[in-house]
């Protein structure tokens, strides 16, 4: 009980010291969170990813985890500044292992209150709050041109986690079990039939309305039922296939219809009719965007599309 109290309660006191017991509790807690994330995600039907579950659970003990490292450093007669190593990948776990074997000082003393420890405590608390907020949003790098013109390759987007059914026209992030995340737009709703003809889409036999885009002759404005409109790169041909959308499913298409070619084959079309449960989030913001995100940090910064930062894709 003393070790548990030393970690979960004593971890908030960054001026004191701690023995090996709270460090053992910290290690067991980290391992428990690691192994619990996937089962919890599966129990929720994939509504929240293992990464979101792991981050939220870890956020609950961030302050105690870093506090235990600082307190054990004090117990060993070391400076709490060694905590800065914890910002590196895997270092918190490795530091805890090292602290298990580090001998205690002859007479560890409680350190006097320090401004820097208070700042470290506050920064760790802010980090925990940010990590916990990941329950409600996910991020994603767009790595192809299939969503032009709304999203460009190199856009890094944030999407709010969907706890309800997606709506027509929404830009969403989806992924089936074991599949990679992809951004698409919701076009067809449950119970509908959607086809792509030479003139554009048909929904339940009714042609979708189109008009020319004002600033780009290569684009058209697609006006979906319900008053939802967005720009697309039109396809150059039509196809005989019809997407029949079962209940509990939606049809997702890319805005670059010339590149998307979802109706070109039965397997491609079948992959675009997805369960609502596989739709993970609704894209709300472009966090940042770069035309060159493959060539390293200097090229990434040099090719930054500054005008797209924090913009809302339509």
Beginning with the edge strand found earlier in the chain, give each strand of the sheet holding 182-188 in spatial order: 137-141, 155-161, 279-289, 171-174, 182-188, 249-253, 273-275
Asked if the structure places residue 13 within a domain, the reply is: yes
Domain count of the chain? 2
Find all residues with CB under 8 Å of 55, minimum gap 6, and list them: 131, 132, 134, 135
pLDDT tens digits for range 30-52: 999 999 999 998 888 777 888 89
Are residues 184 and 55 part of one domain? no
8 A C-beta contact, residue 213 and residue 221:
yes
- Considering 81, 113, 135, which residue would you say is the last residue of a domain? 135
8 A C-beta contact, residue 300 and residue 290:
yes
Are residues 206 and 71 part of one domain? no
Are residues 145 and 121 part of one domain? no
Are residues 141 and 130 part of one domain? no
Instruction: State residue 236's pLDDT score.
Output: 82
- Closest to 248 (Cα-Cα) out of 45, 49, 51, 53: 45
- Considering 78, 108, 135, which residue would you say is the last residue of a domain? 135
Is residue 176 very low, low, confident or very high in pLDDT (cuts 50, 70, 90)?
low
Instruction: State residue 175's pLDDT score.
Output: 82
Find all residues with CB under 8 Å of 305, minimum gap 6, and list them: 152, 154, 289, 290, 291
Asked if the structure places residue 23 within a domain, the reply is: yes
- Considering 135, 156, 188, which residue would you say is the last residue of a domain? 135
Range of the domain at 81: 2-135
Higher pLDDT, 166 or 111: 166
Instruction: State residue 173's pLDDT score.
Output: 94
Counting every residue, how long is the chain? 314
Asked if the structure places residue 45 within a domain, the reply is: yes
45-78: burial string, b at 16+ Cβ within 10 Å, e else = ebebbbebbbbbbbbebbbbbbbbbbbbbbbbee
| For residues 68-89, average pLDDT | 90
Question: Is the omega angle on the peptide bond into residue 149 within 30 degrees of 0, that is, cis?
Answer: yes
pLDDT tens digits for range 84-125: 998 888 898 999 999 998 888 877 778 888 899 999 999 999
What are the φ/ψ torsions at residue 197 (nearest 5 degrees)?
Answer: -100, 180
Structure-token match 């048909």, residue found: 202
Is residue 178 very low, low, confident or very high in pLDDT (cuts 50, 70, 90)?
low
pLDDT at 78 over 70: yes
Q: Is 300 helix (H, G, I), strand (E, B) or coil?
A: helix
Compute the Cα dihedral for 279, 281, 285, 288 and give only its sign.
Answer: negative
Higher pLDDT, 28 or 175: 28
């Amino acid at each position: 009980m003393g070790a548990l109290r030393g970690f979960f309660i004593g971890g908030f006191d960054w001026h004191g010291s701690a023995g090996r017991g709270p460090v053992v509790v910290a290690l067991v807690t980290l391992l428990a969170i690691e192994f619990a994330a996937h089962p919890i995600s599966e129990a929720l039907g994939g509504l929240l990813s293992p990464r979101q579950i792991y981050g939220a659970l870890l956020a609950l003990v961030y302050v105690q985890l870093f506090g235990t490292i600082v307190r054990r450093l004090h117990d060993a007669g070391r400076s709490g500044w060694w905590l800065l190593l914890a910002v590196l990948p895997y270092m918190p776990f490795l530091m805890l292992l090292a602290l298990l074997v580090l001998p205690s000082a002859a007479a560890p003393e409680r350190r006097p209150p320090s401004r820097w420890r208070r700042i470290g405590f506050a920064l760790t608390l802010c980090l925990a709050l940010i990590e916990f907020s990941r329950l409600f949003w996910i991020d994603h790098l767009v790595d192809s041109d299939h969503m032009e013109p709304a999203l460009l390759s190199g856009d890094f987007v944030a999407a709010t986690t969907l706890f309800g059914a997606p709506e027509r026209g929404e830009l969403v992030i989806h992924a089936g079990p074991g599949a990679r995340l992809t951004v698409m737009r919701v076009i067809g709703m449950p119970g509908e039939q959607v086809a792509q003809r030479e003139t554009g889409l048909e929904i339940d036999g009714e042609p979708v309305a189109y008009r020319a885009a004002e600033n780009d002759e290569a684009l058209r404005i697609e006006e979906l039922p319900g008053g939802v409109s967005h720009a697309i790169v039109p396809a150059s041909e039509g196809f005989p296939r019809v997407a029949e959308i079962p209940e509990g499913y939606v049809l997702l298409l890319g805005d670059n219809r010339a590149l998307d070619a979802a109706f070109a084959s039965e397997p491609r079309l079948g992959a675009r009719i997805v369960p609502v449960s596989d739709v993970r989030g609704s894209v709300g913001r472009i966090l940042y965007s770069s035309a060159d995100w493959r060539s390293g940090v200097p090229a990434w910064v040099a090719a930054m599309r500054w005008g797209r930062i924090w913009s809302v894709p339509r």
